[in-house]
Structure 1
């Protein structure tokens, strides 16, 4: 019998309640079982991904989406390594954040606990299945996954392997579920009785659609318009290497730089060298009038306009603007940035401090590539997504984004009337050891 989505969500919630009670060792054993099973199933997973990629090419998929869809042996191995990294992380559940005596025999605790059930809707990026499932299990949460239609075969094989592994452990396999049709997205967004958090990973329009069509809390980011500012005191060799890496190491990623800001004093020395290396990597350059005046004699550089400053290319395209000061760079970033990741290259500590303090983004970097904005690179083991919201969690979201807390109060017949009125007994409010 085919289960309804409501039934699937109900199963996931029940499994999540069982998972929430498991000790750390049981969850870590489940993660190791997943890693081993994924290694065994690698040929089937890669074959399914090859079929997805072939079908996507036949439908003329956009190159950035294709890059995310393709699951190479190296990428799969890295994702499996990430599962084992998650197992090594401290268990985020059951941590005592507050331990306080309100009065003799009346003890308050605040403890971390799982959210419950998380729904994650993501683009054609099958390795996200591995990252999200491992973080969900470690944090004691059930998860309902919905990948892009281009990755259906890949996601199906991955979840099959994960559920096969869980069947050998104390973690119920129904804690990890996969949806495969677009119609199920709307159904999922309506299940506020069973789903505690929705994490959309996709285009600006899609994230907005999710936010507008659910009463479930949503964690996510719509755009990844990242900037790199080359200050007047930057070391040119360092600046060129960081620029090339930030743009070309993986241009489809949301933390790839889209706009390069260059101080006018260093632009004549920096830009030709940077342009040479960028175009050698196949990058299309778009510049303002000042940058084109410097580069157009030797390089092909198209005119940039207002739309370029507002665009997340996720491709080998880079817009360039020359600014006359650090303040102008910061102003541009705070005007056009999406709050994702912004970086400065400078040897001036004062300028770096001003940039790090005044730029409004989840990640602000000094003398390093924007591509470091990643849960795995931060030591989170993996990430469920990236949030550009002001309220936490912010930036790459690992285990902490899947955890909430509850208050436990234990007394011995205590009543509030004792502490009210003219003869009210005072509270002791004495903090106890954790």
Structure 2
């Protein structure tokens, strides 16, 4: 695709964003339902395209260039497609994020300031091999009134093309160009130069990839990086529950960013807990590595320093015995990716130390890290999980795709009235009201 084509796509998206911001909630919800219906109606076509991607990926797997986890993330079936369509419907069912009055303040009599939620504008996303990511992102962008530029991984190119065509056809009544698909690396490089037209870039991938995006653009970047997640089994844990949670966090779906990669165990319960836990992991095919203290208790391979910083994305896990909750906090803050961490304990004080001391977007008590997900958080879906701290953090749903405007409703007031020795005072009183155009003139 040429630079001119990329420029035209982004320009079209910019124009569409202005129009989409004024499309009412009912029309946006109708379009989302049309998307869901179209995905179900085109099941055979989508699965046929996906089969091409999976076959090509399996060839790369045989050559050692892809991992099994990547192939697992890539593959679709009828059940997954129905889940994708249901996800779109769940986004439609969410409250409208636009037009909400976030704050209202009287500056003076008949001079009222409103802070109102509005779309960001044009958001660009560069994401990994999961084809469902394209649909999730498009659905959330539509519900939040944003135009979206989509760039998926080359390994999912056939699936993404068909899904994009299905979405575009299903939403043909919306402003033309609200969703755009780009495919080539050079298109991304050109996109990153267009800070005058693109309002936000959301990359999903490795830390190195996100850093590349950040280093090559002046557009604000909301980064979704790797998930080096931990589960810590405290000395006061319910060990039966801890075994179930630690197992779920690794085995339920190991290919995703909220799966646990390192299990930390208090030395006070390591002798009692580790043998049964390791046996259960090994029965499920998990490849285990441990520090010296762990290997004094169970027979597994030794862990290296690199293991503590690795996102496996597969049935692999590192295990470390720590002194106590403070030692666990230190380890997580040194090696975690600020994604999701969990403590398993019946001691409320230990839970508080862990949850307050950990620097991460999500910190759990007695729950699997796999709960870190936009759908499970009740956000409908997510465009990604932000491990940064600015604008949005954790699973980014509709709220993370909005910003706000200040609307001031007056009745001919002049700044001069509030300046100088005889200046009138501001009242600056907050009140509860929804902004409506011409609110004061209608009273």
TM-score calculated relative to the size of structure 2: 0.94
Q: Does the 8 Å CA contact 1:226/1:338 hold for their aligned counterparts?
A: yes
The residue that corresponds to 2:277 in the other structure is 274
Corresponding residue of 2:229: 226
Deviation at 1:17, TM superposition (A): 1.2
Question: CA–CA distance in 2 between the matches of 1:258 and 1:173?
Answer: 43
**1:112 CA drift (Å):** 0.5
For the residues of structure 2 that align with 1:16 and 1:331, how far apart are their CA atoms? Answer: 45
Provide the rounded CA distance (Å) in 2 between the counterparts of 1:19 and 1:257. 39
Alpha-carbon shift at residue 390 of structure 1 (Å): 2.1
- Give per-residue Cα distances to partners, 1:210-245, cap 9 Å, x unaligned: 111010000013221111001112122211111111
Q: How far 1:42 sits from its partner (Å)?
A: 1.2
1:393 matched residue in structure 2: 392
State the Cα distance separating 1:173 from its structure 2 match.
4.3
State whether structure 2 residue 141 is matched by structure 1 residue 136: yes
In structure 1, how many angstroms separate the alpha carbons of the residues matched to 2:389 and 2:432?
Answer: 32
Q: How far apart are the structure 2 equivalents of 1:278 and 1:245? A: 10
Shift of 1:13: 1.3
Q: Tell me the equivalent position of 2:122.
A: 117
Instruction: Say if 2:49 is the partner of 1:44.
Output: no
1:203 to 187, 203, 206: 206
Q: 1:39-87, CA deviations, whole angstroms, 9 ceiling, x for partnerless residues?
A: 1011111110110010111122222211211122222211111111111
Q: Is 1:119–1:195's contact at 8 Å kept on the other side of the alignment? A: yes
**1:57 matches 2:62:** no
What's 2:156 paired with?
Answer: 151
CA distance in 2, matches of 1:49, 1:202: 21
- Worse-superposed segment, 203-212 or 142-151: 203-212
Given that 2:99 and 2:116 are in contact with CA atoms closer than 8 Å, whether structure 1 keeps it comes out as yes
Structure 1: tracts of 5 or more residues without a match: none
Query: How far has the Cα of 1:153 moved from its partner?
Result: 0.5
Partner of 2:441: none
Of the structure 1 ranges 89-98 and 346-355, higher mean CA displacement relative to structure 2 is found in 346-355
* 1:93-120 CA distance string (max 9 Å, x none): 0011122221222221111100001000
State the distance in 2 between where 1:237 and 1:94 align.
48
Out of 275, 286, 289, which is 1:283 matched to?
A: 286
SS of equivalent residue, structure 1 residue 331: helix
Provide the C-alpha distance between the structure 1 equivalents of 2:430 and 2:28, rounded to a whole number of angstroms.
31
**Distance in 1 between residues matched to 2:247 and 2:414, nearest whole Å:** 66
Q: How does 1:366-381 map to 2 (within 5 A)?
A: 366-381=365-380
Cα RMSD between the aligned structures? 1.3
Partner residue, 1:20? 21
**Count of aligned residue pairs for this structure pair:** 428
- Aligned partners of 1:94 and 1:113 also within 8 Å: yes
- Structure 2: gaps (5+ residues): 434-443
Distance 1:173 1:314 in 2: 38
Once structures 1 and 2 are overlaid, which stretch shifts more, 57-66 or 91-100?
57-66
Question: Is it true that 1:185 corresponds to 2:182 in the alignment?
Answer: no
Check conservation: 1:163, 1:173, Cα contact below 8 A. no
Residue in structure 2 matched with residue 217 of structure 1 by the alignment: 220
Cα distance in 2, alignment partners of residues 160 and 314 from structure 1? 30
Q: Is the 8 A contact 1:164 1:173 kept in 2?
A: no
| Cα shift readout 1:134-158 (whole Å, capped 9, x = no counterpart) | 1001100000000000101100111
Report the equivalent of 1:352: 351
Deviations 1:19-57 (A, max 9, x none): 110111111111001110111011111110110010111
Q: What is the match of residue 30 of structure 1?
A: 31
1:8 matched to which residue of 2?
9
Give how far 1:433 is off.
2.3
